[in-house]
Structure 1
């Protein structure tokens, strides 16, 4: 099974997301079992490297500056649990501080859980390098006004042309992306109509679109479970 995961999905594991890190571990398992061929355009790998620091900086700032507090009316002080609440608040503040320090150390050493899992995944993926021919195809695509991508930017076009060029005809592909430029203006949960028609016409195969990794697993591999989930 050909699988493409967009940079915004990988980068979400450095941010606030409803997706758990276990979703990446499931992906490693599927690759190990040779059930999935993860296609990794150079453009995606570069974007993850390029944007990692900014996303972590924003999310860590919000976490580290979070205030842990309770406001006590004067009469609360007369209740038996008042001292215990004060004690646990102090303990929680200390845990918050030390956890922030541990996270910062792992950030500096590039050893966050997402760092380690993405390094593993990228080493197992099928890489698609940028070439002058690929860049030229993407540039022409943008000049013609064809999706995906924003006006004046060829990044998404490079990704799309990478996938078109790498896959063989009659091979289906599964795409996981939360990028609006890949989604349909009519229904954001579906692939852009132009892209879908182009793929079916040129590749004589099907294309399946998901917004989240968890949705992909639910639809395509509902039986997958990590040992810790059993």
Structure 2
């Protein structure tokens, strides 16, 4: 595969993944190849390849004779994604803490300010984007590209899960939690930073209505009593 083709496919994967992560493409959205070709100014074969990669990452579902759509994660998958995030983000913090410089803390604090500004403007899309950027920034500063790639995928899948199962419109990735993580890193308190991240992710998960869907029982008589 040529470098130009690979670069273009990666661009398409990145654009679609970002739209999902920022909840601009909700679960179940149908992805029509022709429309993507036009809107993303892309080659149809490149679009098809990008969709197949996104399918491998569980972001897109492709059904023969029906086409592609944004995935709709199950409750079991939702729990597994947050468990995986907890493990990956713990590793990121532990790796970063071994090499964390004052410059890194300054970069993280700058990101906190950007998040706070988005919250003040009450721009939900921007808040989601900047919250995800904080987590990815931790990974990039840790200097492990594999962990960064893993986290990018998990954040995108988390956004799908939040779109499907969120109980109410609340800010799920709080700036205060992020500040606690940065403060712990600045104090070189690794265990506190890890614990803050663990609590933070559990807080996000607690706002999802997973228990209801996992244990749901349908009374068909009540469902159709007014029909």
Task: Report the TM-score range of the alignment, normalised by the length of the smaller protein.
Answer: under 0.3
Greater share of residues in helix: 2
Q: TM-score, normalised by structure 1?
A: 0.24
Rg larger in structure: 1
Q: Whose strand fraction is larger, Structure 1's or Structure 2's?
A: 1
- Higher RCO, 1 vs 2 (CA within 8 Å, ≥6 residues apart): 1
